Chains A and B, each alone.
Chain A
Amino acid sequence: MSAAPAEAAGLRFAPRPGAAPARRMIAAQALQEIRQLVRNGEQLTLTLIIPLLLLTAFSLENLVNLGAGMTRVDFLTPGVIALAVMSTAFTSQAIATGFERRYGVLKRLGAEPLSRGGLIAAKTACVVVVELLQAVIIMGVALALGWSPDASPAAIVTVPLLVLLGTAAFSGFALLMAGTLRAEATLAGANLIYVVLLGVGGVVFPLSKFPASVRPVLELLPTGALSTALRDVLARGAGLPLAETVALAVWAVAGIALATRLFRWE
């Protein structure tokens, strides 16, 4: 710069305010969310490495008696997809948003033209993009391990619908935790819930192995409902499993309604 800094600055600072188009703002924020997720190794482990590890290990070795009348990889793939959705939409999103709140990032973003709705849209777009990536990688590995889905053509519609409902349910509760608890409590709580639902969500351990008294409850928890529904569609050629779909929809409405009411930006 040849001019004195203040002079040059004076020219450039001349006010010319204006919001960018909403689409551009949301795209920029969504890209930023993805960038931050990729930068964070722990989140990536959670969303990709753990599901792939479980899929591979439990497919290759008879670690659990599945007793479900299907091959191990056919049983595991739908469950691992459900786990991947939970890790991205719930655990990872809750932790990231909790710390953004703690660091005042959400507060500061609130001063930008990007609306709160726009921010949520960007976060959702990030989750969906990561889920697509997870789905491609998980299904690729599953096919390599001998996965042969037994699904009706309608699965092209029902699987994305179920994943979308699951994503809405998990996101609602992720934002509820992130927006109400301290960041450390969200970190601990979201990881704990992840591990518990990994165990009792029909991911690698069949829900049929659980006592009949708790089984219906486990099947209606978000992870259980999603894994059971995906398994019915992908391994048994079912249409849209009604009970699980309704359960996911109820979780989604409840989570989003609570988050909308209780979320605190700072």
Chain B
Amino acid sequence: MNNVAAVEITSLVKRYGDKTAVNGLTLTARRGEVTALLGPNGAGKTSTIEICEGYRKADGGAVRVLGLDPAADGARLRPRVGVMLQSGGIPPAVPAREYLTLLSKFHAHSLDPDGLLETVGLSGSARTPYKRLSGGQQQRLSLAAAVIGRPELVFLDEPTAGMDPQARHATWDIVTGLREAGVSVILTTHFMEEAERLADHVVIIDNGAVVADAAPSELTGSDGQLRFQAESGLDTDSLLAALPAGAAAKESPSGHYVVETQGAVDPATLAAVTAWCAERGVLPSSLRVESRTLEDVFLELTGKDLRDT
């Protein structure tokens, strides 16, 4: 049974009126792994997840969750799958602990609500009604609700949206804990750092289809880059000419320069860049040497900057 994928989606299509939200999407999320669906708003992430959760019907293609059809086998899937919606779902006047206690009654071997509140850092807010929790606390209660039934698979739709960095790290710890315990996790995010840190497997989605699908390290590769800021309009062609073969140079956006290298940036490249600047009497600021990030991959694949969406 454990050879069955957590989620297997083949050529999925979902339309709303004449708008196609999901357009032939195919992906496989393996058991026991964290799979991140990464993409801008409107890419089709939530539609895809909600079809997996049984909330929406597909207009085409096939979806298997733990080997079952979410549209037809909902009753068999629901005890095995945890769900965290993108927002809401919890009665506003109900206190955190009361809500988790209710959900614990729906499961045969549920986690202890008090222990779970402690794990998600809500012990001090156990009696606070949902509507009076901060946005980050509401998200964490929603996460706790998704895992209280000890599911095999959890769907987390933007689990850290609107969280401060501290709450985000606490959530990452929980996702890591789930993975260590053998729970399969499918999460959507538009935080690159989140996907890079948590995911065994990243699926980049744009316009309702998969544009890349691999481990984060495979997607980013070993190529490096050097970034600096200087006055705008410098001649990047002459910069390129000064660099070792195989490198690329561009100005994007204005005043921000990027030199991309095949393999890691080497000292000779750094020296070439600074020498080129010195020849022009330019002092580069914020000069950084880094490896390529998922953000760069995303930008390259979709032509979009995720942070702007």
Contacts and interface: CB of A to CB of B under 8 A. Distances in A.
B242 to A, nearest CB: 48
Contacts of A17: 79-80, 107-109, 149-152
A102 to B, nearest CB: 9
A8 B119 CA distance: 9
Given A1-B118, A29-B102, A35-B98, A12 B181 contact: yes
B150 A13 contact: yes
Interface residues of A, number: 40
A118 to B, nearest CB: 9
Given A15-B151, A20-B108, A25-B106, A6 B83 contact: no
Interface of B: 53-55, 75, 78-83, 85, 87-94, 98, 102-103, 105-109, 111, 115, 118-119, 145, 147, 149-152, 173-174, 176-178, 180-183
Contacts of B149: 17, 112-113
Contacts of B111: 12-13
Contacts of B89: 103-105, 107-108
A253 to B, nearest CB: 27
Contact of A6 (B54, B78, B173): B173
Contacts of B75: 113, 115
Top 4 nearest A-B pairs by Cβ distance?
Answer: A108-B89, A18-B108, A28-B105, A9-B177
B181 A14 contact: yes
A214 B93 CA distance: 43
Nearest to B172: A6
Nearest to B151: A17
A40 B93 contact: yes
Given A15-B152, A266-B55, A104 B178 contact: no
Contacts of A39: 93
A153 interface: no
Nearest to A1: B118
